[in-house]
Structure 1
Amino acid sequence: MATTALTAQIVLKWQNSFARLNRGQPGISGLLSFSEAWSIATAFLRPRDLADTTPSEHNMQDVRASFDILSRSKMLPMLLENFLEDMRKQLYLITRDINTMMSQYENTGDPQYIASLVYRLVEWFQAWSPIPELGYTVISAYKLAFQTHVFSVLPPSFSSGFKDLIASTFTLSYSTSPPSWTMGPSSSEVKTPPVRPDIPLWTAYDTLGLLDRYESLISSVCYEHIEAHVLETCTGKWGEPMLAPLREWMADKVVPWMIMPYARGARTAAEAQSMLQSVGSRFDFHVCKTLSDLRTREIFDIIIDYPDSLSALQDLKECLQRVDQRTQLVATLRKANKRRLLHPGADTKDILTQYVSIIRCLRIVDPPGVLLFKVADPIRRYLRERADTIRCIVASLVGDGESGDSLVDENEPIQPLQQMQVEDYTDPNWEPEPIDAGPDFRTNRPSDVISTLVSIYDSKDLFVKELQVLLAQRLLAITDGNYERERRNIEILKIRFGEAALQVCEVMLRDMTDSKRIDQHVQSHESLVLHPTIISRHFWPPLQTSKFIMPGQFKQIQDNYAKEFTAFKPDKRLHWLPHLGTISLEITLQDRTVSAEVPPLAAAFIELFSEKDTWTVDELVNKIGSIDRSSALKALATWVDLGVLKEDDNSQYKLLETADASGSGSRTAAPRPANIMEDAPAVLTVQQQQAEQMKVYWKVLHRGNAHKPRVTEFGPDTDDAEDCSGYDRTIEQLGAFMEAARREGLVTVKDGVWKLNRQ
C-alpha cells in the first residue's frame, strides 16, 4: 500500500505535467491540442524511403505550429528521441545504397561511383533532416547520428576510392580557368569563377562531414600531387632555378584547389588567406622537402656537372634552410663517393677533380663548411693513401694538366697557403660554430681550393719536394731554350709556398740559362756537335744514373767538351749522365742512308757495329758497361725496326749493309719482347728518393758482423735505431718500409717487435 506522502507526491507531479501539457487551457482542450501536435510532428519527421514517390500532404504552417506547441510543452527532447528511434529503424535503406554503389566501384575501380554514392548520401541526409526551426541541438544530434551510421557501414575500400576521387578534382579544376583570389584597390571580395565542376562535390563532402573525417587523406593527395609534379618537372634539370617556378605553380594551381577543402566559407580574400596560411605553409614545406630529396639523390651528378648545375645548388641551399635534410645529404654523398669515386679503378686526377668540385659546390650549399667537413673526410684519407696524389696536385699547380681540367680556377686570385689559426674569441665578428658541427670542425679552415688540397697532408714540405722533381723533369724536357713559362710558374708558386721554399727551384732555372751560356762559350772555342745541359748536382733532385760508357767517337766528343769546359771553369768537373738525352744520327750503309734520333744507349750500340758486323747482347753489354738486359733489348729493337740490324736464330744481331729483301730487319727467330720499359723520367720521383734513402738506413741498421748486427730487434718504445743519424721519416713511412722488408724475408715481426732474419 502506498503511503499518504507518496500518493501526494505522485498527485503533485501529475498535476504539474497536466498543467504543462494543457498549457492553462479550459478542461482538457490543451491536452487534446498537444496530442494532435505530437501526431503531426512525428508524422512529419518520420524518415521516408526515397523510392517512395507519394507526395507529402503536410501543411508547413500546421507543422510549425505543432513544433511550437511541443517546444512550449518542453517535449522537444522526447520528440528528438522518438525521431532518432524512427531513423534507426530506416537506416537499412542507406546501408542498402552504400553496399550497392561500393560493389560497383570495387568491380570497376571507377571513382565516379564514389561520387554517385556521395551525392546519394547527401540526398538521404537532406530528405531526413529536421527543419531549422527545431534548433541547433536537434540538428546537431541528427547530423551526428546520421554520420555515425554512414561511417560505420562504409567498407575499407571507400578510403581508396575517396582518395582517387579527390585526386581527380585536380584535373577537374585545371580543365577550366583556375579559381583565384584577387584583391584590388576597389574590391576585396573573393572572386571565384562560376564554372568550377568540382564545387558541388566539395559541398557534398562538407555536408556529410567527410572533409573533417578524411582530412589527412586529402592532405596526402595534395602531397602526392606535389611530389609527382616536382619529379616530372625537375628531375635532371639543373641549369635553371626550379624552386621559384614550383612556388608559382603552387600559387596558380594548388592554392585555388585548396580553397574548397581548407577555406570553405571564406567571404573575403583576407579571410581566405588567413585560413590557408597554416596549410599553405605545410604544402610549401613539402615542396622544399621533395625538391631537397630529389637534389640529394642527384647530388653526385650535380657536382660532376658543376658549374652548369649552379642553379640546382642554390635551390638546394634554400631548401635546406627550410627543411632539415642535411644529415641525409651527407650520408647520400658519402655513400655515392665510396661507390663511384673512392675505388682503385678511379684515376687520382679524376678523384681530385671531383673533390675540388665537391669543395666548391658544398660551399655554395653550406658556406660555414660543416657539410664539406663531414663529406670530405673519407676523400682526404683515401687521397692521402694514394702515392701519386701529391704529384697530381703539383702538376695542376704548374699547369701540367693540359689533357684535362685544371684543379685551379684561373678566376680565383693567387694567394699564400692558408693555415688554421687559433680562434680569437675577442674578435667582435667571431661567431660560434654551427650546431651540427662535429668536435673536430673548425670554422677557420682554409677557404681556397689549393690550401684545402695541401692541407690533406701535415706538411707542405712534401709538395715542395714534388715541385722540385716536376720542375726538373719539365726543364730537362725543354729543347727550344724557352723557359718563360717555368719562370712564371715559379713566381706564382712563390706566392703560394713562400720565397724560401722555392729557392732551389730558382737555382734550377738559373742552371738552365747558365748551361746555355756555357755551351755558347765552349762552341765559340771549338765547334762541337754535343750540346749538353749542365746543372748543379747539389741543387737538383737526384737524377736517374747509369754506369755505361759511350764508345768510339761519342767518347771522344765528350772528352773534348769536358776539356773546353774545364778550361772555362777550372774549379768544376763534368760528370756525364750518358743515358739521358737524345742523339741525332745519320748512318751511311752500302745502299742507303738512315737518319734517326735515338737515345744514347741505342747510339752506343750502333757505334760498336762499326768495329764488327755481328754481336750478341751479352757482348754488347760487356763492351759498354753495366746496363740491364731489358734496356739493351729495347735499344737494339730500335735498329731492328729501322732495318739497320737483324736478329738471327742464335739471338745474334747483324748489321745489314744492304737492305733485307725479306722485310726490313724483320725477326726470323722468336718474336722479341714488346717495349719492356717505357722511357723512364730523368729525375727520381720523391718515392724513389725515399726508397733509396731507406736503403741507406737499412745498411746502417744491418751494419756489423754476421753474428751481431748493430740492431737486432726493436719495437715502438725502444731507442735502438739512434745510430741512424739524419733519419727524418715518419712512423707511417718506417712502418711501410719494415713491412716491405718483411715481405722480402729480411725481418720478422711478433707482438709489435721487429727482428732481423738471420737465416
Structure 2
Amino acid sequence: MQMRSHGFPCFVVEIIMAASEALRNQVAAKWQDSFNRLNRTGVGISGLMEFSKAWAVAAEFLRPRDLGAPPKDFNTHEIRSAFDVLMQCRMLPMLLESFVACLDMSICQRICGRNQHLITDDVTRFMTEYDASGDPDVIGRLVLRLADWYFAWAPGGELGQTISSAYIVNFQTHVFSVLPAAFAAGFKRLLAATLALFTEGATPGVPASVQDSRLWPSFELLGLADRYESLIASVCYEHIETHVLETCAGKWDEPMLSRLREWMAEKVVPWMLLPYARGAKTAEEARTMLQGVGSRFDFHVCKTLCDLRTKEMFDIVIDYPDSTHALHDLKECLQRVDQRTQLVRALRKSNKKRLLHPGADTKDILTQYVSLIRCLRVIDPPGVLLFKVADPIRRYLRDRPDTIRCIVASLVVDGESGDSLVDDDEPIQPLQSAQVDDYTDPNWEPEPIDAGPDFRANKPSDVVSTLVSIYDSKDLFVKELQVLLAQRLLAVTDGNYEKERRNLEILKIRFGEAPLQVCEVMLKDMTDSKRIDQHVQSQSSSVMHPTIISRHFWPKFQSSKIQMPGQLHEIQEAYAREFMTFKPDKKLRWLSHLGSIRLEIELQDRTVGADVPPLEAAFIELFSEQDVWTLNDLIARVGTVERSAALKALLAWVDRGVLREETEDVDMQRFRLLERVPEDAGAGPVGITTAGSRTALAEEEPAVLTVQQQQAEQMKVYWKFIEGMLTNLGGLPIDRIQTMLKFAQGYDRTVDQLGAFMDAARREGLVSVKDGIWRLNR
C-alpha cells in the first residue's frame, strides 16, 4: 500500500469522527444535567428563570456598598428564598467566589468607574493624619471605622456558617493587605493607651477612642488581637518594666515584689481579660484562660526586678542592713528567674571597678566584704554565690600588707566606736574550718548544681571565721593580736585593764587559750608592774613610775640607745637599785626612748610645764649645764640618735619658746636656751624655724614593732645564709633558695615572703634576677 507524504490515512479519520461523536454525547449529557439542576422541576425554562432571579437578588444583597450610600431595602423572606434556591441548585459556592471577588475589588480597586477605593481610601486618610500627629486616637478611630465597614458588608449569620466564615477570612485578609507598615507602631501606642487607662484611670490625655466600649470587640472582629498577639504582650512587658523602674529603683527599705504583684492583680489583670480571656463566660473560665499568660507576666515582673536589683547590688550591700527587704525580694526572684550567673558577674565587675583598687582603704574593703557576706547569705544560704563573688576580694586582701592588722583591730575595738566588723548581737564562737562531707549524716544534702569543684557546702558560717580563712594559718593573726594588745596595754594610763582583759577573754573563745598564753603573760605583767611600783614607792618614794615587762614574752620594741643625762639618769639608777633589792634575781634594762615625762622648767621670768617624750627631756636636761649647744654635740651626749629625730625634739622646744635656733646652717645648727622672753618675740612662739625643719614634725612611731617589721628584722638574720649560697653556688632559683633555707634554725617563711624579701634586696642593689635566677651583685 502506498502512502502519501501529506495527509492522514483513512483509518485515522474514522477514529477522530468516532471520538467527536462520543465527546458530543458527553457534553450533551453534562449540559442536560446542568440544565436539570438549574431548572429543577420547572416547566420549560421556568426553573431557570427562577434561578436567574434568585442569583440577582443574592448577588445584589451581598454586593459591598459605600458607607455613604443609602441603605438598601431588602425583604428578609425574599433573601432567604433566593439563597434556598441557590442551595438547591448547588450554586452557592459560585456565588461565594463572586462575592469574594467583588469584596476584593470594593476594598482595593475601582468600582462603578469612579476612583473610589473605599477602605483603602479610609486607611490612607487616617494613616496620613497619624503620621502628622502621632496621636494613637487616630488609630483607634481607624479601627472603629474598619469595624463599621465590616458590619456594613457582613452577610448575616442567618445565611449559614459557610458564608459567614468565608466573609470573615476574606475581609480580614484584604484589610491586612492594605494596612501600611506604620500601622503596627500606631496600634502598639493605642494598646499602651488602653493599658494606661486601666492602670492609671481616665485622665485628660487619654484618647476618646480608647474609652469607647466598642474598641476591643473591634480588635477581635477584625482579627487584630490574633494578628498582633506578640505586640500586645510586648506592650504589657514594657509597661511592667517602666512601672518597676519608676517605683522600685533605689527603694530597698520595704518589700516591693509583693506590691508589684498586688499592682498586677488590681490594675493589669483586668486589662489582660480583654485580649487573653475573650469569650470567657465565668470567672473560673477566665482564670483558667489567664493561667498561662499570667505566669509569663509574673515571670517578667520577677525578671525585671531581678535585673534592677542586680544592677544596684553593690549599693544594696553598702546600705545593709537597711536593704534587707531588697535582698529577700531578690532571693525570691532568683528562685523564679535563673539569673545567678548574671548576679555573680555584675558583683565581680562592680567590686573590681569600685572596691579593689589602691585608692580604697583596706578597712573600707573589709567592711564591704563583711556586708557582702551577710547579704549573700540572705540570698543564697548554701554560700555558692558568696564563694564565687568573694574569691577576687579574698585574693586582693591577701596581698594587702595591712589586712591582718585591720581585721585584728576590728576584733578588739570598743563597741561604741562603730569600727567593729562584727555585730554585737552575733554570738561569739570558736573559729570554724571547712570539714570533709559526712555522707553517713542523715541530714546530708548534695552541693548545689551550680557549685564549682572547689566549693564546700559547710564553709565557715560566722564572719570572723570567714575573715580569718583568707589566710592559710591563724598564726599571723595571733602575732598581730600580740602586737595590738601590747600597744593598747602600753597606752593605758589609769591602770584599768578590765577592757583589755574582757577583749582577751573573747579572743580566747575565738582562737583558743593555747595561742593566746603570751597575751595572758603580757596582761599579767601590767598588773604585776603596778604592784611592784607600789612596793618600790613604799620603800623609797620616786617621781618615776615605770612599766616593767617580761623580755621574752612581749613583741620586739623599736630599738634605740638613748642615755638619759643628769638627774634623769640618777632617778633611773635609784629606782633600779630599789627594784633589785625587791627582786634580787632580776635586772632592769631601761628602754629610755619609750614613755613620757612630765617636766616643769623654771626659767628666769617664767615656768614651762609639758608632757614630753624622753628624748625631748634628755635634750632640755643638757641645757641645765650650758645655754648654747650645737646639734652634733647634743646627739653625742644622749647616745645614738637619728639626726631627724633629734631635730624634731629640739624644734618642739623652739615651738614652746624655750629654745631658739640661732643658725640655719645644716652642718652647724646651734640652739640657745631663752631664760627670758625676748622683747621682739611678739605673741607667737619664740624662735626661728626653717621649712625643712618643720617637715621633721610627724606622728610618733608606735613603740612595738609591727608583724611586718618583725618579719623584716628576722629575715635580715637569714641574709647571711642567702649571701653564702649565692657566693658558693652562683645563681639559684627562688625555690632552691627556699629549700636550702629550711635547714636554718627557726626559718618558717613561705616562698612568697622570701620572694618579697629578695625583691627588696634587689631594689637595694644587693642582688639581681634574670630568667628567675638570682645572683649577687659584685
Candidates 533, 547, 553, aligned match of 1:519: 533
Tell me the TM-score normalised to structure 1 length. Answer: 0.95
Candidates 161, 164, 167, aligned match of 1:136: 161
- Residue 471 of structure 1 corresponds to 485
Which structure 2 residues correspond to residues 93-242 of structure 1 after superposition, within 5 A?
A: 93-174=118-199, 197-242=211-256
The secondary structure found in structure 2 opposite 1:245 is helix
- Residue 628 of structure 2 corresponds to 614
The AA in structure 1 aligned to 2:708 is: Q
Q: How far is the alpha carbon of 1:319 from its aligned partner?
A: 0.7
| Partners of 2:732 and 2:775 within 8 A in 1 | yes
The yes-or-no answer on 1:689 pairing with 2:714 is: no
| Partners of 2:734 and 2:751 within 8 A in 1 | no
Candidates 734, 740, 743, aligned match of 2:763: 743
Q: How far is the alpha carbon of 1:497 from its aligned partner?
A: 0.4
Output one character per residue of 1:410-449: Cα deviation in whole Å (capped at 9) or x when no partner: 1011000001101111211111111111121110110100
The yes-or-no answer on 1:7 pairing with 2:24 is: yes
| In structure 1, distance between residues paired with 2:503 and 2:359 | 31
- Residue 260 of structure 2 corresponds to 246
| Partners of 2:63 and 2:99 within 8 A in 1 | yes
Output one character per residue of 1:383-421: Cα deviation in whole Å (capped at 9) or x when no partner: 111111101110111125864431011101100000110
| In structure 2, distance between residues paired with 1:174 and 1:544 | 73
The yes-or-no answer on 1:456 pairing with 2:474 is: no
| In structure 2, distance between residues paired with 1:353 and 1:209 | 60
Gaps of 5+ in 2: 1-16, 109-117, 204-208
- Residue 732 of structure 1 corresponds to 752
- Residue 670 of structure 2 corresponds to 652
Candidates 586, 591, 599, aligned match of 1:572: 586
- Residue 181 of structure 1 corresponds to none
Output one character per residue of 1:219-239: Cα deviation in whole Å (capped at 9) or x when no partner: 111111111111111111111
| In structure 1, distance between residues paired with 2:538 and 2:609 | 27
| Partners of 1:700 and 1:723 within 8 A in 2 | no
The AA in structure 2 aligned to 1:392 is: C
Tell me the TM-score normalised to structure 2 length. Answer: 0.92
- Residue 13 of structure 2 corresponds to none
| Partners of 2:651 and 2:689 within 8 A in 1 | no
| Partners of 1:649 and 1:669 within 8 A in 2 | no
Q: How far is the alpha carbon of 1:150 from its aligned partner?
A: 1.5
Aligned length: 738
Q: How far is the alpha carbon of 1:261 from its aligned partner?
A: 0.9
Comparing 532-541 and 335-344, the one that deviates more: 335-344
The yes-or-no answer on 1:408 pairing with 2:433 is: no
Gaps of 5+ in 1: 179-194
The AA in structure 2 aligned to 1:102 is: M
Candidates 425, 436, 442, aligned match of 1:422: 436
- Residue 368 of structure 1 corresponds to 382
- Residue 57 of structure 1 corresponds to 73
The AA in structure 2 aligned to 1:27 is: G
- Residue 352 of structure 1 corresponds to 366
| In structure 1, distance between residues paired with 2:383 and 2:304 | 24
The secondary structure found in structure 1 opposite 2:601 is strand
| Percentage identity across paired residues of the two chains | 67
| Partners of 1:41 and 1:63 within 8 A in 2 | yes
Candidates 10, 15, 20, aligned match of 2:37: 20
Candidates 51, 72, 91, aligned match of 1:75: 91
Q: How far is the alpha carbon of 1:19 from its aligned partner?
A: 2.3
The yes-or-no answer on 1:29 pairing with 2:50 is: no
| In structure 2, distance between residues paired with 1:443 and 1:436 | 12
| Partners of 1:631 and 1:677 within 8 A in 2 | no
The AA in structure 1 aligned to 2:58 is: A
Output one character per residue of 1:264-322: Cα deviation in whole Å (capped at 9) or x when no partner: 11110000001111111111111111111111111111111111111111111111111
| Partners of 1:173 and 1:196 within 8 A in 2 | no
4+ runs deviating over 4 angstroms: 174-178, 400-403
| In structure 1, distance between residues paired with 2:282 and 2:154 | 30
| In structure 1, distance between residues paired with 2:636 and 2:263 | 85
| Partners of 2:598 and 2:609 within 8 A in 1 | yes
| Partners of 2:742 and 2:748 within 8 A in 1 | no
| In structure 1, distance between residues paired with 2:172 and 2:36 | 38
Change (3 A) 1:177 1:703: closer
The secondary structure found in structure 1 opposite 2:599 is strand
| In structure 2, distance between residues paired with 1:570 and 1:175 | 93
- Residue 100 of structure 2 corresponds to 84
Output one character per residue of 1:174-201: Cα deviation in whole Å (capped at 9) or x when no partner: 57699xxxxxxxxxxxxxxxx9935311
The AA in structure 2 aligned to 1:67 is: F
- Residue 504 of structure 1 corresponds to 518
| In structure 2, distance between residues paired with 1:79 and 1:244 | 59
The AA in structure 2 aligned to 1:142 is: Y
Q: How far is the alpha carbon of 1:716 from its aligned partner?
A: 4.0
The secondary structure found in structure 1 opposite 2:671 is strand
The AA in structure 2 aligned to 1:614 is: V
| In structure 2, distance between residues paired with 1:387 and 1:303 | 25
| In structure 1, distance between residues paired with 2:688 and 2:703 | 35
The yes-or-no answer on 1:698 pairing with 2:696 is: no
The yes-or-no answer on 1:753 pairing with 2:768 is: no
Aligned-residue RMSD, C-alpha: 1.8
| In structure 1, distance between residues paired with 2:569 and 2:448 | 71
| In structure 1, distance between residues paired with 2:245 and 2:571 | 76
The secondary structure found in structure 2 opposite 1:440 is coil
The secondary structure found in structure 1 opposite 2:672 is strand
The yes-or-no answer on 1:39 pairing with 2:59 is: no
The AA in structure 2 aligned to 1:656 is: L
Candidates 257, 260, 268, aligned match of 2:271: 257
| In structure 2, distance between residues paired with 1:159 and 1:177 | 24
| Partners of 2:741 and 2:747 within 8 A in 1 | no
The AA in structure 2 aligned to 1:209 is: G
- Residue 571 of structure 2 corresponds to 557
Q: How far is the alpha carbon of 1:140 from its aligned partner?
A: 2.0
Output one character per residue of 1:546-599: Cα deviation in whole Å (capped at 9) or x when no partner: 111000111111111111111111111111000000000111111111111100
Which structure 2 residues correspond to residues 559-638 of structure 1 after superposition, within 5 A?
A: 559-638=573-652
| Partners of 1:313 and 1:361 within 8 A in 2 | yes
| In structure 2, distance between residues paired with 1:643 and 1:542 | 36
- Residue 188 of structure 1 corresponds to none
Q: How far is the alpha carbon of 1:29 from its aligned partner?
A: 2.2
| In structure 2, distance between residues paired with 1:379 and 1:136 | 72
The secondary structure found in structure 1 opposite 2:35 is helix
The AA in structure 2 aligned to 1:659 is: V
| In structure 2, distance between residues paired with 1:720 and 1:502 | 32
| Partners of 1:589 and 1:658 within 8 A in 2 | yes
| In structure 2, distance between residues paired with 1:574 and 1:559 | 10
| In structure 1, distance between residues paired with 2:629 and 2:518 | 45
| In structure 2, distance between residues paired with 1:389 and 1:496 | 18
Q: How far is the alpha carbon of 1:717 from its aligned partner?
A: 4.8
The AA in structure 1 aligned to 2:262 is: E
